[in-house]
């Protein structure tokens, strides 16, 4: 009986140590809040990053971006981590006859030559000011994880481009933050 119990405890310990872990994160880009204004919900499997003080106001043909850099460890050897849906929640303002394009891009630093970019467009004939979720399914997989469990550095870029007219994008309500929700899954390589 104690041999079975020891084996079960060992399996539980192995499962715990092979759980994905966001070891650290940084942010960059002209639209990113500075200092400690980017926070995280603490989940490594369904992370949400809060871009406090994020607010952009663009005129026609202007663009800004914010990029998150996530160091991810705790992967299981022989598997890859896939970035599924990335959803950015905020409040969009468009002038009459306004148009904007949102770009969500991602790449793993270990495979920087293979980025994935999704484009979402929005336009209106009358002025619009409301809460939106900008959803993009990226389907980007990391390189195969080695025995050290290091998955890699995931770089996620969110860019707003004004195609025409004044465009604003910021928190859904006063006192809240623009949030970026990221879906991560693991599967065999």
Domains, the chain, ordered by start: 19-188 (2.60.120)
Higher-confidence position of 116 and 10: 116
What is the residue-averaged pLDDT of the chain?
89
Q: pLDDT value at position 47? A: 96
Q: pLDDT value at position 1? A: 43
Q: pLDDT value at position 82? A: 96
Asked whether the predicted pLDDT for residue 143 surpasses 50, the reply is yes
pLDDT digits (tens, 9 = 90+) for 118-142: 999 999 999 999 999 999 999 999 9
pLDDT digits (tens, 9 = 90+) for 90-99: 999 999 999 9
Q: What is the pTM of this model?
A: 0.86
Q: pLDDT value at position 111? A: 86
Per-residue pLDDT band for 11 (boundaries 50, 70, 90) equals very low
pLDDT digits (tens, 9 = 90+) for 40-77: 999 998 999 999 989 999 999 999 999 999 999 999 99
> What proportion of the chain, given as a percentage, has pLDDT over 70?
90
Rounded CA separation 144/42 (Å)? 24
């Amino acid at each position: 009986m104690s041999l079975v119990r020891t084996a079960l405890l060992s399996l539980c310990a192995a499962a715990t140590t092979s759980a994905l872990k966001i070891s650290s994160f940084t942010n960059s880009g002209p639209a990113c809040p500075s200092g400690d204004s980017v926070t995280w919900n603490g989940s490594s499997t369904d992370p949400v990053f809060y871009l406090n003080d994020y607010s952009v106001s663009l005129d026609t043909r202007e663009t800004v971006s914010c990029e998150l850099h996530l160091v991810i460890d705790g992967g299981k050897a022989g598997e890859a981590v896939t970035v599924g849906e990335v959803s950015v929640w905020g409040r969009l303002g468009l002038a009459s006859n306004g148009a904007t394009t949102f770009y969500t891009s991602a790449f793993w630093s270990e495979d920087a030559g293979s980025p994935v970019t999704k484009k979402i467009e929005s336009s209106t004939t009358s002025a619009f000011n409301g809460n939106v979720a900008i959803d993009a399914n990226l389907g980007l997989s990391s390189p195969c994880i080695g025995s050290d469990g290091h998955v890699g550095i995931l770089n996620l870029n969110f860019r707003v481009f004004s195609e025409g007219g004044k465009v604003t994008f910021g928190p859904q309500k006063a006192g809240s933050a623009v949030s970026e929700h990221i879906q991560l899954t693991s599967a065999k390589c």
